């Protein structure tokens, strides 16, 4: 049946689980994208196209929790080359300021092209005449142009959830022009911040040769493409309600008690990823104890590291490095029943996350580069009594909105130590003033508003510009 809205993403919004009776089933995935898109799907009676995980599985379309889902299969070679290779060992580090060195392999690129083509063909077959297709993230940057060629009647939006790098970095990519042209298949290209949108427009002008004006790109075929910032957000009301539920309040109290009721709890919750700055953050905290500014009797750092991309070698190395660091810090600085770092390598449901947010006095979010970082916003949403402090990297997209956080340069260990200490020592009046301001921002700019603003903008994009423009230059 043709659909008026097709969401195209690398992953379906569900994870496999084992039901209580032992049978396989599905549950809604945690994470920002799912939370953001689910209401749009329901409002528009849409369909979501994506990979369910697994290898060589041909699954039929199915419905879960009122959402229509269409699974795409992936071979072992495609998982290795398209997903672990091109997406996560080439594009991810390149787009995150080369925090790790990207690898460039032609066979990875070939697989990337092939998988993007399959996604585009499937999306074309699902979309009704004149439908809207919303493509998501760095794994599928070629889909808009491929889809445009198959179905010129469609209105196509693309949203990049991670940073988009400046020209100096992006130009290293051997397939830079193909990526730019792939994105130009969309009518609207959305980014987390204005800097990313400007980087894209500048690169299109320099590398593809199209005429541009501010956030518009004029194509020789008469189409206009708009590149614009749409900072993503969270279901702030949902988190607020969750954090004030009796079960979460009770669990938060139990967490504090299990930690020995310290005066202050520091908290980090991140995917185990080298862009998140976990190693440097824990090192800075340990030095505060060594310097005598903090004591394990008064404070503890709870670090949750959610398992991530465990087949990629760089991620396995990072896990080993952090395991060793935590062991060394606790061995040197901890006391019986009082570790300096309480380290958890696991993922947790939203209820447990809300309890952790509620239990923590100081949230520490210090990535080297992050498109947004929704954990920072989730923490703020859960602080319904306007207490607590947020230490936030200035290189996270969230820093553009949450200006009242203690902002840090995550590469500056001494600066990070100073910010952690300032947040620790801040008086209640100062913390409340900052938190109230951040809560206003998060409440007023929630995920529903984000999705609505993107969809409204996509509906309003003027397809034809009616200008005569020069043909694209060769790169």
Tally Cβ neighbours within 10 Å of residue 214. Answer: 10
pLDDT value of position 470: 53
Name the maximum alpha-carbon separation found in the chain: 75
Q: How far is CA 47 from CA 74, 247, 248, 312, 458, in A?
A: 19, 34, 33, 31, 18
For 236-444, CATH gives 3.40.50.2000
Q: Exposed, middle or buried: residue 270 (CB in 10 Å: 0-12, 13-18, 19+)?
A: buried
Q: How far apart are CA 413 and CA 288, in angstroms?
A: 11
- Superfamily per CATH, domain 3-232+451-460: Glycogen Phosphorylase B; (3.40.50.2000)
The β-bridge relationship of strands 211-213 and 216-218 is: antiparallel
Q: How far apart are CA 160 and CA 95, in angstroms?
A: 11
Q: How far apart are CA 280 and CA 410, in angstroms?
A: 7
**Nearby residues of 331 by Cβ (< 8 Å), 6 or more positions away:** none
Structure tokens at 418: 């100073």
Q: How far apart are CA 85 and CA 112, in angstroms?
A: 9
Q: How far apart are CA 213 and CA 203, in angstroms?
A: 13
The DSSP secondary-structure symbol of 51 reads E
Q: How far apart are CA 373 and CA 445, in angstroms?
A: 15
Three-state SS for 29?
A: coil
Domain with CATH 3.40.50.2000 in the chain: 3-232+451-460, 236-444
pLDDT value of position 41: 82
Residues 434, 389: contact at Cβ < 8 Å? yes
pLDDT value of position 468: 57
The one-digit pLDDT tens for each residue of the chain (475 residues) are: 789 999 999 999 988 887 788 788 898 876 666 777 877 787 787 999 999 998 998 999 999 888 899 999 999 999 999 999 999 999 999 999 999 999 999 999 999 999 999 999 999 999 999 999 999 999 999 999 999 999 999 999 999 999 999 999 999 999 999 999 999 999 999 999 999 999 999 999 999 999 999 999 999 989 999 999 999 999 899 999 999 999 999 999 999 999 999 999 999 999 999 999 999 999 999 999 999 999 999 999 999 999 988 888 889 999 999 999 999 999 999 999 999 999 999 988 889 999 999 999 999 999 999 999 999 999 999 999 999 999 999 999 999 999 999 999 999 999 999 999 999 999 999 999 999 999 999 999 998 899 999 999 999 987 666 565 554 454 4
Q: Where are the alpha helices (DSSP H) in 268-399?
A: 278-290, 313-333, 350-359, 374-382
Cα Rg for the chain, rounded, in angstroms? 23
């Amino acid at each position: 049946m043709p659909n008026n809205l097709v969401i195209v993403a690398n992953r379906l919004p569900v994870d496999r689980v084992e039901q209580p009776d032992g049978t396989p089933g599905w549950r809604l995935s945690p994470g920002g994208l799912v939370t953001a898109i689910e209401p749009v799907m329901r409002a528009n009676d849409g369909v979501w196209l994506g990979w369910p995980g697994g290898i060589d599985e041909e699954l039929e379309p199915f419905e879960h929790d009122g959402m229509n889902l269409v699974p795409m299969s992936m071979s072992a070679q495609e998982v290795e080359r398209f997903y672990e290779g091109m997406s996560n060992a080439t594009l991810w580090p390149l787009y995150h300021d080369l925090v790790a060195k990207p690898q460039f392999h032609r066979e990875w690129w070939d697989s990337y092209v092939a998988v993007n083509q399959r996604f585009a063909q499937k999306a074309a077959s699902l979309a009704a005449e004149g439908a809207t297709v919303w493509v998501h993230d760095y794994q599928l940057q070629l889909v808009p142009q491929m889809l445009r060629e198959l179905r010129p009647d469609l209105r196509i939006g693309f949203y990049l959830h991670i940073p988009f790098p400046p020209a100096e970095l992006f130009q290293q990519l051997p397939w830079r022009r193909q990526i730019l042209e792939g994105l130009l298949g969309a009518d609207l290209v959305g980014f987390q911040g204005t800097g990313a949108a400007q980087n894209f427009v500048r690169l299109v002008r320099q590398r593809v040769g199209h005429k541009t004006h501010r956030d518009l790109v004029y194509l020789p075929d008469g189409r206009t493409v708009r590149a614009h910032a749409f900072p993503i957000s969270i279901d702030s009301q949902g988190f607020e309600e969750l954090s004030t539920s009796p079960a979460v309040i009770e669990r938060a109290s139990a967490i504090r008690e299990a930690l020995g009721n310290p005066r202050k709890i520091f908290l980090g919750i991140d995917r185990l990823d080298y862009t998140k700055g976990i190693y440097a953050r824990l090192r800075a905290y340990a030095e505060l104890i060594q310097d005598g500014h903090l004591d394990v009797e008064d404070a503890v750092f709870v670090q949750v590291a959610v398992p991530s991309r465990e087949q990629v070698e760089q991620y396995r190395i990072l896990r080993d490095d952090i395991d060793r660091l935590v062991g060394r810090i606790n061995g040197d600085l901890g006391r019986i029943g009082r570790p300096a770092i309480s380290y958890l390598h696991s993922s947790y449901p939203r209820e447990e996350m809300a309890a952790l947010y509620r239990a923590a006095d100081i949230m520490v979010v210090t990535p080297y580069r992050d498109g947004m970082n929704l954990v920072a916003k989730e923490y703020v949403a859960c602080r319904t009594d306007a207490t607590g402090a947020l230490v936030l990297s200035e290189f996270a997209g969230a820093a553009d909105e949450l200006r009242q956080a203690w902002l840090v340069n995550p590469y500056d260990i001494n600066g990070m130590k100073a910010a952690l200490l300032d947040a620790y020592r801040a008086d209640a009046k100062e913390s409340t003033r900052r938190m109230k301001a951040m809560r206003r921002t998060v409440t007023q700019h929630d995920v529903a508003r984000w999705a609505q603003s993107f969809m409204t903008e996509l509906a309003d994009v003027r397809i034809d510009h009616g200008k005569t423009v020069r043909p694209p230059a060769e790169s």
